[in-house]
Amino acid sequence: MIQDIPIHHRTIGVNFNQSGDATTTVWAPAANQVEITFEGKKLELQKQKSGYWQLQTTELNPGTNYKFVLDGKTELPDPASLFQPEGVHGPSQTIAITQFAWTDHSWKNLSLRDYILYELHTGTFTPEGTFAAIEQKLDYLKELGVNAIEVMPVAQFPGNHNWGYDGVFTFAVQNSYGGAKGLQHLINTCHQKGIAVVLDVVYNHLGPEGNYLGAYGPYFTNKYHTPWGNAINFDDASCEGVRRYFIENALMWFRDFHVDALRLDAVHAIKDASPTHILQEIKMHVDRLMKETGRTHYLIVELDLNDTRYIKSQEEQGYGMDAQWIDEFHHALRVTATQEKTGYYSDFTGIEHLAKAYQDAYVYDGQYSLHRKKDFGMKVESNRGQQFVVFAQNHDQVGNRMLGERISHLVSFEMQKLLAGAVLVSPYLPMLFMGEEWAETHPFLYFVSHSDQELIDAVRKGRKEEFAAFHAQGEAPDPMAEETFLHSKLQWELMNTEPHFTLWMYYKELIELRKQLPALYELNRKHVKAIPNSKMQTLFLHRWHENNQASCLMNFSKEVQTITLPNSEERWQKVFDSAEPKWKGLRAAPNILEANATVSVQPEAILIYTNNDNHQQ
């Protein structure tokens, strides 16, 4: 475990002090000589302990292009570069990253339980595909009710078009998006508008093109096999420099970019058998930073293991992550809505598993999984509802389909409304995927812009093999084609047409209800009861907080079904009805129901009743 990482400033790469002097530090433990070359000059770095090389100089200025030279051989970009103005193969450029004029001093991060998340991809969210263009849409998101944007990875990747998971410069912000200053400006503006920023980062692998880390040191190990080749070296020989690299990266986003939360991609693919897991160590340093600055930051992980060790506190011998994505809620919801049973969906029965996801978070918490061919998962006991992020769709569940179909391509308008309701009444953190709130009709396809032909061929071949598991017919759109990228952009003009505008208003009202109704707002997993009826394809979800109750009646069938409200002496007031005419529904349900009443729920509809209409103020 690394004890001496300063939390106040970045210590690797090129950094400027208040006087403008530059300190250049690079980890190259096997090198005999390290030089920095810039503007026709070449300066030698001095060897330090633990494989680091360092130079202090007044000759480097912000905005200078530079490269490192190891042992007098090939010139290489900086592994801790903050900016790659000419892409992954070009020179690095110095940036005075701490000199941004922040105006968010009064900003206080939201409580995690209050997050209404909205996942977006910078390149396709707007026609321009930049951070500056996102800023122009913040008032729109605010009006919708979103208070936290989750930005897909921005670490520098090859070319201009990529999901972001092929990033190879972990510290450099994508040049075509607006670079570091553009991201800082976006976050500053978000905070001015009361919106938190979650940044997606990838610590389980690096992309294949422009990945020069291996030339500097043992950043990778053949101790483990991963889908991307050798694993990042978190626990093999000489791993301290690697661990420091990623810990410093997490600290940089929080300290120098004022990011509110990190979403760590696929942490189940991080291989680390150290006594202190790298996630624990990142958490320890983030805790130190928060104590020093007084700011609050969260660590949210994508996890495919159903293992509460990741989200238990370190006092409980856990890794201390604040929350995790749970794909199983999505899978159960998707199977319930579409009956799709291919690939990993084959493990899910539909509405029974959806009820279990509401009740228990994990669907598989020790049972035998046919898809995995083993007993899988563990029970969620003390973890709170705010520790789980749920969704009806996200970039993976849309973009990893061969044709990138959104839910709007797969189900009816009525079912889209029901799915939105199913997510927003859950006792978990809800997340929308950009454009779902108006039923975007463009797909979200997989796209890349590599320059290596062998790699391009491998990507095309890999995609084809991946879809074989889902028995997909036909050919996938070419990931390299410009039209694949352009066809994935949102069509903002749809919002002004029907039924898209009605759906947008529907989302807006439903989000507001979640914020205002105590039984929905409070994420107490002990106050949840979910009752499925597989024959009728209905689900009754009962949630309560103190004296406020919410009864959520969902009908996933294509026929009218009747559901009886719970035994009580309560009189029930309707607060939401997806089948109302104003939502282009078939027939509204009664506004008032007496105790123990039976109510007809329209096909593919959701009703929400409360025992009193005392919304939060």
What's residue 569's pLDDT?
72
pLDDT, tens digit, 9 for 90 and up, residues 184-220: 999 999 999 999 999 999 999 999 999 999 999 999 9
Bridge partners of residue 69, in order along the sequence: 35, 75
> Is 235 assigned a ligand-binding role in the annotation?
no
Given the residues 235, 302, 414, 580, the one annotated as active site: 302
* pLDDT score of 427 more than 50: yes
Q: Measure the CA–CA gap between 570 and 322, rounded to whole angstroms.
A: 37
* pLDDT score of 76 more than 50: yes
> Is 295 assigned a ligand-binding role in the annotation?
no
What's residue 459's pLDDT?
76
Which tokens sit at 77?
């970009």
3-state secondary structure 577-609: ECCCHHHCCCCCCCCEECCCCEEEECCCEEEEE
> Is 263 assigned a ligand-binding role in the annotation?
yes
* pLDDT score of 344 more than 90: no
Q: Is 501 helix (H, G, I), strand (E, B) or coil?
A: helix
Given the residues 265, 414, 437, 577, the one annotated as active site: 265
CB 333 within 8 A of CB 422: yes
Q: Measure the CA–CA gap between 393 and 420, rounded to whole angstroms.
A: 10
CB 347 within 8 A of CB 371: yes
Distances (CA, A) of 290 to 34, 200, 283, 324: 35, 20, 10, 20
What's the whole-number mean pLDDT along residues 467-492? 84
Q: Measure the CA–CA gap between 482 and 11, rounded to whole angstroms.
A: 39
Which tokens sit at 449?
């812009």
pLDDT, tens digit, 9 for 90 and up, residues 525-536: 999 999 999 999
Q: Measure the CA–CA gap between 601 and 612, rounded to whole angstroms.
A: 21
Q: Measure the CA–CA gap between 587 and 564, rounded to whole angstroms.
A: 18
> Is 465 assigned a ligand-binding role in the annotation?
no
What's the whole-number mean pLDDT along residues 333-348? 92
0.85 cut: is pTM over it? yes
Please calculate the CA angle 60-62-63 and round it to the nearest 5 degrees. 105
* pLDDT score of 471 more than 60: no
Q: Measure the CA–CA gap between 410 and 416, rounded to whole angstroms.
A: 9
What's the whole-number mean pLDDT along residues 472-478? 77
pLDDT, tens digit, 9 for 90 and up, residues 283-329: 999 999 999 999 999 999 999 999 999 999 999 999 999 999 999 99
Which tokens sit at 45?
């770095």
What's residue 228's pLDDT?
84
Amino acid letter for position 310: Y
Q: What percent of the chain has pLDDT over 90?
A: 88
Report the DSSP pairing between strands 52-57 and 65-70. unpaired
> Is 612 assigned a ligand-binding role in the annotation?
no
Give the closest residue to 325 by CA, choosing from 342, 345, 310: 310
* pLDDT score of 229 more than 60: yes
3-state secondary structure 222-284: EEEEECCEEEECCCCCCCHHHHHHHHHHHHHHHHHCCCCEEEECCHHHCCCCCCCCHHHHHHH
DSSP state of 317: T
* pLDDT score of 381 more than 60: yes
pLDDT, tens digit, 9 for 90 and up, residues 575-599: 999 999 999 999 999 999 987 889 9
What's the whole-number mean pLDDT along residues 230-237? 96
pLDDT, tens digit, 9 for 90 and up, residues 507-519: 999 999 999 999 9
What's the whole-number mean pLDDT along residues 232-246? 97
> Is 277 assigned a ligand-binding role in the annotation?
no
Which tokens sit at 124?
């396709």
Domains with residue ranges and CATH for the chain:
13-99 (2.60.40.10), 113-203+248-506 (3.20.20.80), 528-610 (2.60.40.1180)
Lowest mean pLDDT among 218-232, 236-250, 408-422, 543-557: 218-232
> Is 330 assigned a ligand-binding role in the annotation?
yes
More confident residue, 33 or 227: 33
* pLDDT score of 617 more than 80: no
The helix (H) or strand (E) run that includes residue 187 is helix 179-192
DSSP state of 209: T
pLDDT, tens digit, 9 for 90 and up, residues 243-286: 999 999 999 999 999 999 999 999 999 999 999 999 999 999 99
Residues 6+ apart with CB under 8 A from 449: 158, 159, 160, 161, 162, 480, 485
Task: Using CB atoms within 10 Å of the CB of residue 463, give its burial: 0 to 12 exposed, 13 to 18 middle, 19+ buried.
Answer: middle
316: annotated active-site residue: no
What's residue 452's pLDDT?
82
Res. 476 pLDDT band, cuts 50 70 90: confident
What's the whole-number mean pLDDT along residues 224-229? 86
Q: Measure the CA–CA gap between 401 and 177, rounded to whole angstroms.
A: 26
What's the whole-number mean pLDDT along residues 61-86? 97
302: annotated active-site residue: yes
What's residue 474's pLDDT?
72
> Is 496 assigned a ligand-binding role in the annotation?
no
More confident residue, 617 or 334: 334
Res. 49 pLDDT band, cuts 50 70 90: very high
Helices (runs of H) and strands (runs of E) counted in the chain = 16, 31
